Structure 1
Amino acid sequence: MNNLFTALRFPESEENQYIMKSIMRVLGVAEITPEIAGPCIAGLTSILAEVCKNPKNPIFNHYLFESVAVLVRRACERDLSLIPSFETRLFPRLQEILGNDVTEFLPYAFQLLAQLVELNRPPISDTYMEIFKLLLSPDSWNRNSNVPALVRLLQAFLGKAPEKVNQEGRLAQVLGIFNRLVSAPSTDEQGFYVLNTVIENLDYGAIAPYVGHIWNALFTRLLNKRTVKFIKSLLIFMSLFLVKHGSANLVDSMNSVQAGIFMAILEQFWIPNLKLITGPIEVKLVSVASIRLICESPALLDAGAVRHWGKMLDSIVTLLSRPEEDRVGDEPEMPDIAENAGYTVAFVNLYNAGKKEEDPLKNIKDPKEFLATSLAELSARSPGRFPQIINENLDPPNRAALFQICSTYSCPIV
C-alpha cells in the first residue's frame, strides 16, 4: 500500500487511474487490520482533499471513492471501534463536498454517508442529524442525478433512527419527498424505495394519519400515467404493507379513500400482473402477501368474491410454479457505462457502498410450503368449498401444479 500511494506522488501520476484501481483491488482482498486501516484512510482522504479542488479525471475519482467505500466496509464491519477515527478523517472532506456543492462528487458523498449511518449504532449523533435536516430540504432534490444517492441515504436514516423520523414533522417531509418522486416516471421507483422503507420501519400508528395521502398519490399516478414498472412497484408496496401491518389495514385504508377501490385494484392490476414480479425476495414477498390475502381477508372469502379468489390463486400458482423466463417478457438490457463517459453520467453507483437487500419475511423459508399449509388450514374450516372453486378458476396446468405442491408437503385441500 505504501508503494502504491508513493507511486501517486510521481510527476504526472497524481491521478493515475490504474494505480487507484490497484489500491481498490488490494483493499478488496487484503486482511485489513487497524494498523493498515489508519494509514490507508489518511492517504485516501488526503488525495480526496486535492481532487475536490478541481475534479478532472472521472475514472480516477470513481476508483478513489470505491477505495474509500471498500475500506470503510471491510475495516469497520470487522472492527466497529474504527468508525470514529474514519468519521474524523472523512467528515471534513464530505462536508467540503456538500458545502462547496462539488456537483461531480455529491452522489458519491451521499452514498458514503449512507454507508457510515448504517454502520453506526443508535443513537445517531447530532452531526448526522444535521445532514438529515439537509436531506429533508426540497432544494436537495432538485438535481435528478443526486436522487438515487439521496434515497439511499434517506433509507439509511429511516432504518437506523425511525424514532427520529417521527419527530418534529419529519415524517410529513419524508412523505413529501416520496410524493414528488413517485409522480414522475423517471424517479417513481426511487419514490417507492422511500415509501417501502417507511412502511417497513415505522409502526402503523405513526403512519396511519398519512395513509390516505399515500393512496391518493399512488392512485393519481396510476390513473394518469401507468407503466409496467410502476404497477410492479405498486404490487411490491401493497404486499409489504400487508405483511407488515395486516390485510385488514391494507383493505380498509384503501377503501377509505374510495369505496370498493381495493377490489377494483385487485382485479385490474394485482391479479393480472402478479406473474411479472422478479427477484427471489420480491417473489417471496408478493406470493406470501397474496396467499395471506386469499386465506385471511373477509373481502376475498366472501361468497360474492369467489371468482376473484380463484383467479388470485391461479396467479399465485403461475408465479410460484413457472420459470421466470416463461412468465416475464424480455426487458431491454441496461447499457454499460462507457469508461470515457465523463461526468455526464446521470448517476454512478458505488458498488462497495451498496445497500444490502433485506428479506422482510426471514421466518418463511419456502413460499410453496406456505401456500400448501395455508390452503390446507383454510379448506379444513370449510370442507368441500374450495376444490370446486379451484376446478372452475385455475388453468389445467396450474391445477396440476397446485396438486403437486400440496402433495409434496402432504397438505390436502378438502
Structure 2
Amino acid sequence: MKQDIDFGWPTANLYDNHIRLYRRYSGTIPALSRLLQAYIEKSGETIVVEKLTIVLGVFQRLVSQSKIHDHEGFAILNSLIINLPSTCLNNYLKDIFIVIFTRLTRAKTQKLIRCIIVFFSHFIIKFGANEFITQVDSIQANMFQMVVESLFIPELSKVDENDKKLCAVAVTHLLCDPEQVTKGIYFNHLWLKLLKALLALFQSSNDLQIMSVAERKKQAQDEAEEELLVGLDDTPDYTPAFSHLAFAKKPRTDLFGSSIPDARCHLAKCLQTLTSSHPNQFLNVMTNGLSTEHLLEIQKYCALANVTLT
C-alpha cells in the first residue's frame, strides 16, 4: 500500500540539519534564513523554543562574522522578537545587546546601522521604551544617549521604506513614554533632537529615497568584496549560490494594522497625551526649539488626528 505523505513540521533531526547548513554553505544562508523565520512564525513555541540557544547562535554567527549576511541574522532575531512570548527571551536580552554593540564597535557599516535601528524598534514595540533604555544602560552607564546621538538622530531617515512606519511608532514611544526622556536625565539633551529626527523621517522625500537606494547598492557592492572575519563557507570544492525568486518575495507585513493606520497621527495623539500631562512644558520646548516648517508639520499631523496640543 502506498504510504501517505506527511505534510507536518520537520523532525528534530531535519531541523538540526537545517541549522548545520548555516555553518557550511554561505550560498544557502538567505533561503535557510527565510525557512527558519517560517518555523519561528508558524510554530515558534513548539519547535524553536526547544532550540532557542541554537537559533540565537545562528544569529550571533551571522552578525559577528559576516558583513554580507549580517542582515539575515537580524531578520531571524526580529522574527523571534515578533513571534515568541517575551518571557522566552528575557534571559538572553543582555547577551543579544552585547553581540550587537560588539559588532558595531568592530565593523560599522550603513547596512548594519539600519538593521540595528529596525531591531531596536521591534524591541521597543515588544518590550517597551523603558526596558530598552534599561537594557542599553545596563551595558554602560548613559549609553542610551550615545545610541540616540550616534544612531537614531543621524540615521533614522535612512531606513528602508518598508520599515519607516515601525521605526516611527517606536521612536514616538521613545519620545513620549519613558520618564528618563520626558523629564529625567535625558530630557535636556535628547528629547528635541529625537523629535527632529522623527519629523525628518516623516518628511523624507522620494528623491532622497532614490539616493538612499543608490547608496545602499554601492554599500552592498563594497561589502561583497570582503568578509569581516572567517568566511562561513569552508568547502572550496562546492559553493552553492542563492538566486532570488521574483514571485516568491517575502510579503510585506504591517505589525500595527488598523490599530495605528497612520504613524503621523499616532505621534500627534501621543504628543497630546504628553503635553496635557505637562502643561506648557513641551509646547514651549517645541515652539522655541523647532523651525517654522517643523511646527507646521506637527500642526498638520494634529489636524489629521483631530487633536490639539495644550
Q: Name the TM tier (shorter chain).
A: 0.7 to 0.9
The answer as to 2:267 corresponding to 1:350 is no
Q: Distance in 1 between matches of 2:270 and 2:302?
A: 10
Matched-pair contact (CA < 8 Å) for 1:158–1:198? yes
Per-residue deviation, 1:327: 6.2
Q: 1:252 to 1:350 in 2, by over 3 A?
A: same
Q: What does residue range 100-249 of structure 1 map to in structure 2 within 5 Å?
A: 124-125=8-9, 127-137=10-20, 139-165=21-47, 167-168=49-50, 170-183=51-64, 184-249=66-131
Q: Distance in 2 between matches of 1:322 and 1:158?
A: 33
Per-residue deviation, 1:244: 1.5
**Greater length-normalized contact order (CA 8 Å, ≥ 6 residues apart):** 2
Counterpart of 1:267?
149
For the aligned residues, what is the CA RMSD? 2.5
The answer as to 2:170 corresponding to 1:289 is yes
Per-residue deviation, 1:136: 2.3
Q: Distance in 2 between matches of 1:400 and 1:150?
A: 47
Per-residue deviation, 1:303: 4.7
Runs of 4+ in structure 1 displaced over 4 angstroms? none
Q: Distance in 2 between matches of 1:226 and 1:392?
A: 35
Q: Distance in 2 between matches of 1:396 and 1:285?
A: 26
Per-residue deviation, 1:392: 3.6
The answer as to 2:270 corresponding to 1:374 is yes
TM-score by length of 1: 0.64
Identity of aligned residues (%): 27
Structure 1 unpaired stretches of 5+: 1-83, 92-119, 336-342
TM-score by length of 2: 0.84
AA at the equivalent of 2:23: W
Structure 2 unpaired stretches of 5+: 219-237
Partner-residue secondary structure (3-state), 1:230: helix
AA at the equivalent of 1:242: I
Per-residue deviation, 1:167: 4.3
Partner-residue secondary structure (3-state), 1:161: helix
AA at the equivalent of 1:243: I
Partner-residue secondary structure (3-state), 2:14: helix
The answer as to 2:272 corresponding to 1:389 is no
Number of residues of Structure 1 aligned to a counterpart in Structure 2: 285
Q: Distance in 2 between matches of 1:369 and 1:132?
A: 43
Per-residue deviation, 1:128: 4.4
- The structure with the largest alpha-carbon Rg is 1
Counterpart of 2:179?
298
Q: Distance in 2 between matches of 1:397 and 1:298?
A: 28
Partner-residue secondary structure (3-state), 1:259: coil
Q: What does residue range 82-93 of structure 1 map to in structure 2 within 5 Å?
A: 88=5
Aligned match for 1:359, one of 250, 254, 257: 254
Matched-pair contact (CA < 8 Å) for 1:275–1:327? no
